[in-house]
Amino acid sequence: MHSKSIAALGAGLRAGDYSSVDLTRAFLERIDRYDEDLNCFITLAPERALARAEAADKLIRSGEAGPLAGIPIAHKDIFCTNGLKTSCGSKMLDSFIAPYDATVVSRLDEAGAVMLGKTNMDEFAMGSSNETSHYGVVRNPWDRNLVPGGSSGGSAAAVAARLCVAATGTDTGGSIRQPAALCGITGLKPTYGRVSRYGMIAFASSLDQAGPLTRSAEDAAAILQAIAGFDRRDSTSAQEPVPDYSEQLEDPLVGLKIGLPKEYFNEGLDGEVARSIELAVDEYRRMGATVMDISLPNSGLSVATYYVVAPAECSSNLSRFDGVRFGYRCQEPKNLEDLYKRSRSEGFGAEVKRRILIGTYALSAGYYDAYYLKAQQIRHLISDDFRQAFEKVDVIMGPTSPTTAFAIGEKADDPVTMYLSDIYTIAANLAGLPGISIPVRPAAGRPVGLQIVGNYFQEAKLLNVAHRLQRESDWHLAEPLGFSSPSRI
């Protein structure tokens, strides 16, 4: 049962082949069996999950249930969950119990989904490998010696290992798409403002966006349907109508115009990854799409731009964690200054402190114009590149990550090399565009992700393009070895 799609599981629930309680227990058993080795979850909520499953079963029997009713999911531990620990992967929030639900959480609850627990993540979503978490490294189900990607690595690894049907994540510079690529699953970053950020603990407010990690584009459409839409509690939420994301999945691709940026196929791209992307693009040609070379001339500046803008915003957002109002507080402070200093130095990890320092410097008097303002100007140039490209093409394709998953510890002591892991994903965040990563042919037994970027609020088109490839191939159906224990239902 753990290998079935949301639609297939929903059909079985409505047919009475099994109950949501049965399904939830089966996934909790899988977590108990496998997660000690993977470390995907920070917090489990079995009693709450079973209670939600019972409620979902009643809703299903009434005949009024939607497609997500009774489906076991997980939330990245960056989303506030009422009465349940929300840590952001940090010692700073190790004891924080959220007093309310994030909009993403409440909307999935309203849809009848069953939350199994909260997944591990890079501390405050800062990282590309899920090695910065206070709760330890998450391991890639395809090879326990490899990272799963970050910062949504716990969610990606949990979906890949079939410990939940789907999971939520957040994407600030690639943190849904990159772990999806490294774990061989589908990850969707919607347009900035498409999904509410209310109750999602902020890293960089102008870049953060919530989205789903799932086995397929079809499943991603079902999750996005539930969480998308305007929210008056989020001032950045877009008042755009939400289409039926499943309605266009089967649309033919004849006449689709695909752009391949020459900047994404350079010497930094692994040769086997490039070959896998080329094979996937060939499939699109076979389905009737037209492929053309394009240029995004300022994309090479995206990493440098991001690592000014994001740290600047994080330094501001994380200033609230001072040891006074909530979060970690040092023991026996001598005075207020000592309370601030020791609470923050003891509560934050090395990567978070590094970014706070960079951001504070960039925003300081005398450097604001030279760094932050200049980065915002380049950000506009990057957005203009995409605008001009979308006058010629419908979607832009390329690799999600320059390499497959790398070894745990391989880049941990080299922040600059680690930052380059997101070189192909960051530009979409700077421009606020939607992007999706889907699995294509593996390279040396490791998953490879194809990234598809669309124009603003064109998530339905992205899901359609991704789904059509998944109809014609079985790359997304591959499962890591060792996670196929038989289910009792």
Cβ neighbours, 10 Å, residue 437: 35
Give CA–CA dist 468/438, Å, rounded. Answer: 11
Q: Tokens 């969707």 label which residue?
A: 188
pLDDT of residue 355: 96
Give CA–CA dist 330/235, Å, rounded. Answer: 34
pLDDT of residue 419: 85
pLDDT of residue 467: 98
Q: Which residues pair with 73 in a beta bridge?
A: 115, 166
Buried b (16+ CB within 10 A) or exposed e, 178-189: bbbbbbbbbbbb
Residue type, 64: E
Task: List, by residue number, the catalytic residues.
Answer: 76, 151, 175
Q: Is the dihedral of CA 92, 408, 129, 362 positive or negative?
A: positive
CA 390 to chain centre: 24
pLDDT of residue 417: 85
pLDDT of residue 48: 97
Could you tell me which of 429, 413, 475 has the C-alpha nearest to residue 448? 475
Give CA–CA dist 145/99, Å, rounded. Answer: 37
Each residue's pLDDT, cut to its tens digit, for the chain (489 residues) gives: 788 999 999 999 999 999 999 999 999 999 999 999 999 999 999 999 999 999 999 999 999 899 999 999 999 999 999 999 999 999 999 999 999 999 999 999 999 999 999 999 999 999 999 999 999 999 999 999 999 999 999 999 999 999 999 999 999 999 999 999 999 999 999 999 999 999 999 999 999 999 999 999 999 999 999 999 999 999 999 999 999 999 999 999 999 999 999 999 988 899 999 999 999 999 999 999 999 999 999 999 999 999 999 999 999 999 999 999 888 999 999 999 999 999 999 999 999 999 999 999 999 988 999 999 999 999 999 999 999 999 999 999 999 999 999 999 999 888 888 888 899 999 999 999 999 999 999 999 999 999 999 999 999 999 999 999 999 999 999 999 888 655 555
Residues 155, 128 contacting (CB under 8 angstroms):
no
Question: Which residue pairs, CB below 8 angstroms and at least 24 apart, start in 362-365?
Answer: 362/308, 362/311, 362/312, 363/312, 363/315, 363/316
- What pTM value is reported for the model? 0.96
Q: How far apart are the first and last CA of the chain?
A: 7
Q: What is the DSSP string of 30-65?
A: HHHHHHHHH--EEEE-HHHHHHHHHHHHHHHHHT--
Q: Tokens 């890639």 label which residue?
A: 140
Helix (H/G/I), strand (E/B), else coil: 186: strand
Q: Which residues pair with 114 in a beta bridge?
A: 72
Q: Which CATH number fits domain 1-489: 3.40.50.720, 3.20.20.70, 3.90.1300.10, 3.30.960.10?
A: 3.90.1300.10
Q: Tokens 């989904």 label which residue?
A: 113
Domain definitions of the chain by residue range: 1-489
Residue type, 389: A
Residues 383, 309 contacting (CB under 8 angstroms):
no
pLDDT of residue 488: 54
Residues 187, 176 contacting (CB under 8 angstroms):
yes
pLDDT of residue 44: 98
pLDDT of residue 340: 95
